[in-house]
């Protein structure tokens, strides 16, 4: 078979792979919404800015980022509807705050550099 005739099949395989990946991402989001969004809790995507909210989700990333010369621990919380950055000022590490961990947080949502952010939220680790 010539290399020219393999190109359409390669594109077709690539499209199928991308489609399967996108469907898996959508399914993960739906599963997280079912797991974390309950009565009395807000969805991250629908939570109002400058209001105290209670959110649940999974930590996608956890990083140490200095803010104004002060160490701060930052984590991205995702619940299937959206994500928010959690920041604990003055902390280099918090035991149990790791990527993949399920957590419940409560605090006030703000905007910083066009990102939704919650500073020093109260938190509770959710057993897996």
Domains within the chain, CATH numbers bracketed:
36-125 (2.40.50.140)
Burial 64-100 (b: 16+ CB within 10 A, else e): eeeeeeeebbbbbbbbbbbbbbbbbeeeeeeeebeee
What is the per-residue pLDDT across 45-54, written as a single tens digit (0 to 9) for each? 888 889 899 9
Is residue 14 scored above 80 in pLDDT? no
Kindly state the tokens that stand for 109: 């949502």
Q: pTM for the complete prediction?
A: 0.70
DSSP secondary structure letter of residue 44: T
Is residue 41 scored above 90 in pLDDT? no
Percent of the chain with pLDDT over 90: 44
Please give the Cα distance from 81 to 36 (Å, whole number). 10
66-94 mean pLDDT: 91
């Amino acid at each position: 078979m010539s290399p020219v005739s393999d190109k359409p099949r390669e594109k077709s395989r690539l499209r199928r792979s991308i489609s399967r990946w996108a469907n898996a991402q959508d399914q993960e989001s739906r599963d997280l919404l079912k797991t974390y969004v309950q009565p009395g809790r807000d969805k991250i995507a629908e939570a109002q800015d400058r209001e105290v909210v209670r959110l649940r989700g999974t930590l996608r990333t956890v990083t140490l980022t200095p803010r104004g010369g002060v160490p701060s621990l930052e984590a991205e919380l995702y619940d299937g509807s959206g994500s928010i950055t959690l920041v604990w000022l003055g902390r280099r590490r918090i035991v149990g705050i790791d990527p993949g961990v399920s957590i419940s947080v409560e605090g006030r949502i703000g905007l910083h550099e066009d990102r939704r952010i919650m500073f020093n939220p109260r938190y509770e680790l959710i057993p897996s």
